[in-house]
Chain A
Amino acid sequence: MAEADALEITRLLQGWRKGDEQCLEQLWELVYRRLSRLAASYLQNERVGHTLETGALVNEVFLRLTQQNQVRWQDRAHFFALAASMMRRILVDHARRSQASKRGNGMQTICLHELHELGRSDHPDLVRLDEALLDLEAEDPSLANLVVMRYFGGLTRGEIAEALATSTTTVARQWRTARAWLYAYLAESSPP
């Protein structure tokens, strides 16, 4: 990773935090390319039984993109929030492609969903979850955001509170609501 990129991402993060939406777009461009390339290789190489280390993945991107010590706390939180939404997109796309190819030619690719079923069965179908999230986003973007950060980004309550400039109790309360909402939605295929 060129140093210029690292400096650039630091600048963009700061700009974004100050509310410059253009910075976010550029940041997205810059990070997403790398993240998706990395994720693709992870998803390809991960063998059955291995877990996908989102945290490790994001960290890796972050490490490559920034000079860590020059990025402030809040910027980091924002970065991870951003990365979480990228992960959502990458993982959902991956799941969608896997399902399509399974339906199509029956090739033995392993979709993320299956991957997790090997270990745990409490993960929903990612494609359906994504649809639910889109509707939740329309209802209440902050709730959807929270879910993305928590579920796709693996952020802790503290980290989310930091990124959203709110308290951990608020995060906890909203999380419960969002989870119930999504569960109800998926159970009956309609928003509650």
Chain B
Amino acid sequence: MSSESPMRPQPQKKSEKGARARRIFESAMEVSEEGRARLVDRACGDDAPLREAVERLLRADAEAGDFLREPLVRGAAASPFLPPPRIGPYQLQEKIGEGGMGVVYRGVRDDEAFQREVAVKLIVHQAMGKESRQRLGVERQILAGLDHPWIAQIFDGGTTEEGVPYMVMEYIDGKPIDVYCDQQGLPLRQRIELFRKVCSAVHCSHQNLVVHCDLKPSNILVTTAGEPKLLDFGIAKLLRQDIPEGEKGPGTVGSRPLTPEYASPEQFQGRALSTVSDVYSLGVLLHKLLTGQRPETQRELQPELRVDGNFFPTRTVDQEEGGLQGPADGSAPFSPHRLRGDLEAIVKKALRPRPEDRFSSVEQFSEDLRRHLQGFPVLAREGNLRYRAGKLLRRHRIPMAAAFASFAALAVFAFSMATLAGRLNEEREKLQEVVGFFRLFFERASPLVYEGRNLTLQEAVDQNAGLIETGLQNRPEVKVEIVTVLADIYRELGQSDLALIWSERALALNRQVVGKDSQAHSLSLVQVGAALRELGRFDDAERHTRAGLQQLQAQPDPEPQQLVHGLNNLVELLCYQERFQEADEPSRAAMELAQERLEENSAESLAATANRGQVLRRLGHATEALRLYEGALAPYRQRFGNAHPQVATVLLNLSSIYRERGDLTLAQHTLEEVNSQYLEIFGQDHYQRVMPLSGLASLARNQDRIGSALALYREAAEVAVASAAPPGYVLRPAMNFAQLLLSTDQCREGEQVLRDSLEYCRPHPDLGWRYAEVEGLLGECLVRQGSLAEARSLLEQSHARLRDSAEEGDSTALQRALQRLVGFYGAMGEEASRKQAEVALEAIGNIES
């Protein structure tokens, strides 16, 4: 090894004397200082120049101090490529890895009966001072305590002869996780499952207060058995509180080695690291595993930019779209579109530049992936809920309400998960918010929900139902609130059976959590009653509703709003059964209490007024009813807007009163507004329009505007069929329509209308007297046209149905059926039958009178 410099003169000839002097010097170094002079004396004898040379060397050695002691430059001593061939009992073999902090060699322990393969990591970072080394010792002990099947075990550690710290750990014969996934051609789902195992290992280390800080594929090997193994907690930082600030080892400063592709923004900026920094790195890893590429933000990073605190480009992460693009050449195993939706949201959430915007823990990250795999809504989308919902509502108003509803359901879910994560206290307010949000939502957006046809919402609710049942086991006080809201949703959806199940569940939970005498329990009783009412189980409904109301009234300081709520429910139940007399007292009580104690236009207050109006009207107090309805109209409009089903309902009732009072023009105008409101809310073909249309038609008929009447009836019939309306909405306008047709001698078209409606309703055999009455009318129509045989069977069938109907029904319908029979038998000359029918008819008349 030479370093010839041609410019230099040839050095003087090698001297024999010099070589001897050096040998003597070396020997002198071997003996003690006292022995040295004697040794030099003996070796040099009287060779003065030799003696002088030796003494110069001895002097130099004594004076040299630190001369050349340190290599020209610091850190060079720790050349990572030249470790001692042996460390402790381990014979080092080939290098198997290299990281920011050091190099890893395969080592073999062969001084025992068995051979053991290990990985030996030499920590060779220039910034490693004495303190850092001590810290590393502590860290090593903690790492050795990490006992997890997916974390490489630490066996041993120490410092080499040269002062290089090392760790001996489990030798893993595996491949980096990204390589493994690609080589095995793992499908998406299995990649996610593998990734979740990694999360589990990281979570375990977090629980031991160890942050990895350098998660990347080369630190996550997958064995041939397909199990991941985490290595290299090389720059792991302890979260231990007992290490004072500013003394957290090599960890917290800018000189910390890092892997730019996987490092979090705070790591670049040399800020404090936390478990959430690992969330970020895992996010990069997941992106890589799922798309074959690292996210855009990472690839664009230039090391030069690191000094600039604000370098981190947020656009790809924060923009609504395009943050997670896949490779252009399509060579990656998964096309980028796979990262849409939930997965995109999850990865994005992990990659948020600000730590507090990410998943708060690796466990949460992993949980969200599990939910995605199992088809549940994911937490990552929580943050966008209100924004998106509000946007949808603004853009589409009520037609998009169903989509809105599914977001609302998601909010419940998100909340339940948040509480699961133990953030209950801070979520308390959020709960109120969520529930309030729901109420608002149902007030504003119930129309489409009434339809109960939106599968997305249905699915969302059903999913949540299962989740709440299992997921909130240990949180009964939260569970009951959510279950209560869920019951409301189902009722609004028209799924009364499910509404019943969930309200009963809420009832049981309330009994368990807050006790039988609580207000919450009383309200649950009322809720169960409402569900039972929808199911037609009026007796049970009444029992529950009255019991709930009684409990409410027995409260020491009952909330007036809840009392009004309970009373309203009772009144509605009684009105359903047309028990208006009994509804009189509670409806008056509800209204008075509302007027006295509630805000004028609160939902309960308005409902109380409308209920009272209906009762008064049915009890014949039309004027008073009119006053109430008219008074309620303005606050209703104020609260719900000018096109809302609740407002339309008030208008419908008003129009009935106007009509009963003979104010046909006002009735007509009112119905026209209802019709246009429904048009705006529901669109052209919605069965809600049938009612105002046929109302307008009958008004036209009463005013002898026959042409308009026929046109309106026809429209009503068409809308009913086109919107697949419930049978009740088809039969009534069909009958009125047909009657008008018959009265204007348009028998053939009348026949067709009646046959169509019967055909439409055939799938529903339990239609009771209305169906029978349409049959009777068709019979009459056929008599007029001379189809006597079919007419006879229809007339007799209609009568039999009406007679046997257990329903209250309309006794006038039975009367009409008998009248038709009397006429028919008379015309046919069948005296005995005619007599019989006449007797029956008289009997009804007697009962009636």
Q: Using CB atoms and an 8 Å cutoff, list the residues of chain A in contact with chain B.
A: 51-56, 58-59, 62, 68-69, 73, 76-77, 80-82, 85, 87-89, 91, 116, 120, 122-124, 130-131, 133-135, 137-141, 143, 145, 147-148, 150-159, 162, 173, 176-177, 179-184, 187-188, 191-192
Contacts and interface: CB of A to CB of B under 8 A. Distances in A.
Given A53-B76, A56-B75, A158-B162, A183 B64 contact: yes
A81 B1 contact: yes
Given A54-B72, A153-B76, A158-B162, A137 B11 contact: yes
A120 B53 CA distance: 30
Nearest to A120: B70
Interface stretch (B54-62, B698-706, B781-789): B54-62
A139 B73 contact: no
B73 A124 contact: no
Interface string B1-42: 111010010111111001101100110010000000000000
A177 B57 contact: yes
B393 interface: no
Given A69-B94, A145-B1, A192-B53, A184 B60 contact: yes
Given A138-B12, A180-B57, A76 B126 contact: no
A180 B77 contact: no
B3 A88 contact: yes
Contacts of A130: 5
Contact of B22 (A76, A131, A155, A181): A181
A191 B63 contact: no
B95 interface: yes
A135 B11 contact: yes
A89 to B, nearest CB: 6
A131 B11 CA distance: 9
A80 B82 contact: yes
Nearest to B29: A176
Interface in B67-125: 67-82, 84-85, 94-95, 98
20 contacts: A52-B73, A53-B76, A58-B76, A123-B70, A130-B5, A151-B71, A151-B72, A154-B72, A156-B79, A157-B162, A177-B26, A177-B29, A179-B67, A180-B58, A180-B60, A181-B22, A181-B57, A183-B61, A183-B68, A192-B60
B848 interface: no
A181 to B, nearest CB: 6
Identify which of A62, A154, A156, A179 gathers the most chain B CB atoms within 10 Å of its CB. Answer: A156
Contact of A122 (B59, B69, B98): B69
Nearest to A87: B72
A107 B525 CA distance: 94
Contacts of B29: 173, 176-177
Contacts of B77: 55, 154-156
A162 B79 CA distance: 14
Given A56-B75, A139-B18, 12 more contacts: A53-B126, A54-B71, A77-B82, A89-B3, A138-B14, A155-B79, A156-B82, A156-B162, A176-B26, A176-B61, A180-B25, A183-B63
Contact of A191 (B3, B18, B65): B18
Interface residues of B, number: 53
A165 to B, nearest CB: 13
Contacts of A184: 56-57, 59-60
A69 B95 contact: yes
A177 B220 CA distance: 49
Contacts of B58: 180
Contacts of A69: 94-95
B161 interface: yes
Nearest to A179: B68
B79 A159 contact: yes
Given A80-B81, A85-B1, A138-B13, A179 B61 contact: yes
Nearest to A160: B82
Contacts of B82: 73, 76-77, 80, 155-156, 158-159, 162
A161 to B, nearest CB: 9
B808 interface: no
Contacts of B759: none
Contact of B71 (A150, A158, A188, A192): A150
A176 B3 CA distance: 21
Nearest to B8: A134
Nearest to B55: A192
Contacts of B68: 124, 147, 150-151, 179, 182-183
**SS class, residues of chain A in contact with chain B:** helix
Contacts of A192: 18, 21, 53, 56-57, 60
B66 interface: yes
B799 to A, nearest CB: 99
A12 to B, nearest CB: 15
A158 to B, nearest CB: 5
Contacts of B98: 68
B19 A135 contact: no
A130 B10 CA distance: 14
**Listed residue (B56, B75, B95) with the most chain A CB atoms within 10 angstroms of its CB:** B56
Given A81-B1, A173-B29, A184-B57, A91 B72 contact: yes
A139 B79 contact: no
Contact of A141 (B2, B60, B63, B78): B2
Contact of B79 (A59, A88, A89, A183): A59
Kindly list the 8 A-B residue pairs having the minimum CB-CB distance in the complex, ordered from nearest.
Answer: A154-B76, A138-B11, A55-B76, A184-B60, A159-B82, A180-B61, A183-B60, A192-B56
A54 B67 CA distance: 19
Contacts of A181: 22, 57, 60
Nearest to B22: A177
A76 B81 contact: yes
Interface string B158-175: 000110000000000000
A40 to B, nearest CB: 16
Nearest to B96: A69
Nearest to B84: A158
Contacts of B22: 140, 143, 177, 181
A139 B14 CA distance: 5
B76 A54 contact: yes
B695 to A, nearest CB: 87
B162 A58 contact: no
Contacts of A138: 10-14
A58 to B, nearest CB: 7
Interface string B589-614: 00000000000000000000000000
B423 to A, nearest CB: 46
A186 B10 CA distance: 18
Contacts of B14: 138-140
